[in-house]
Copies of this chain bind each other. A is one copy, B any other.
Amino acid sequence: MKILVVNSNTTRAVTDTIAAEAQLAASPGTEIVAVTAPFGPAAIQGRTDAVIAAHATLEAIIRHPGPVDAAVIACFSDPGLMAARDAAGFPVVGIAEASMLTACMLGARFAVVTVAPGTVRPIHELAAAYGLAQRLASVRALDVGVLESHADREGTVRGLKGLIERAASEDRADVAILGGAVTAGMARQLSAGSPIPVLDGVACAVRQAELLAGLGRKARS
C-alpha cells in the first residue's frame, strides 16, 4: 500500500521529520511518499497562510504523478481537506480530524496540547466545525514558539508532560492529542508515565488512511 503524505508548508526539513514519523507509524508493507507543498508559506501561522496552504496542498494531491492508495494532510488545520476529498479518487485524511475521531473512541473528552499559542482558537473552531465541540475538553499551549520547541526537544517534552497532566486533572480530559507536526514522535516519549493516552496526529492519520484504503471504499468513479 502506498500513502502520499503532504507537508502543507514549504520547509523541507519539516517534511523529513513528518516522513520519518509516518514510516514508523505505518504497518509493514506500507510505503510512505512524502512531498512538500509546491508553494506558499514556510510555516502556517494565520488565516492568510492557511488559505494559500489549502491551495498548495490541493495541488500537491491532485497533481501527484503515479497512483497512491490514500493521502494524509500533515498540518493540524487540515488545509484543503474537504476539497481534496472531493477531487481525489482515493481517501484523504487530515491529521486533526483523524486524531480527534480516533480520540473519540478512547474516551468521552479529549484535550489538544500544542507549542503554538496562536492555534488555540483555530483548533476550537475546527473541532466545532467537525461537530466535536462538546468532546473537546480543552486546548492548552506551551508558550515557546515552533522553532524554539524544535531546538529544545527535551524542554518541550517536559513542558508538554506538564500540560497533559493538567488537562487530565483540571480539564478532566480522557485522552490527549499532540496538535502539530513539529511534535511528531514525542507521543511515544510522553505515553510512558502519562495518566491518559497520548495520541500523535501523524500516526493516527497514517493508520486511518491504511484502514480506509483497506476497506476498498471510495469506489464511486
Which residues of A are at the interface with B, using a C-beta cutoff of 8 A?
46-48, 50-52, 54-55, 58, 62, 80, 82-83, 85-87, 91, 93, 97-98, 101-102, 104-108, 121, 128-135, 172, 175, 191, 194-199, 203-204, 207-208, 211-212, 214-220
Contacts and interface: CB of A to CB of B under 8 A. Distances in A.
Contact of A215 (B97, B121, B199): B199
Contacts of A211: 102, 207-208, 211
Central interface residue in A102, A131, A172, A207, by most chain B CB within 10 Å: A131
A129 B62 CA distance: 27
Given A54-B55, A132-B131, A133-B131, A218 B106 contact: yes
A196 to B, nearest CB: 7
B102 A212 contact: yes
28 contacts: A46-B86, A47-B86, A48-B83, A48-B86, A48-B87, A50-B83, A51-B80, A52-B58, A54-B54, A55-B55, A85-B107, A101-B104, A102-B211, A102-B215, A104-B130, A105-B208, A106-B212, A106-B217, A106-B218, A121-B172, A129-B129, A131-B132, A131-B133, A196-B220, A197-B218, A197-B220, A198-B217, A211-B211
Contact of A212 (B82, B105, B191): B105
Contacts of A134: 128, 131
Contacts of A102: 211-212, 215
B207 A191 contact: no
A199 B214 contact: no
Given A52-B55, A207-B211, A106 B83 contact: no
A200 to B, nearest CB: 9
Contacts of A214: 207
A168 B164 CA distance: 27
A50 B54 CA distance: 10
Contact of A197 (B51, B197, B208, B219): B219
B219 A82 contact: no
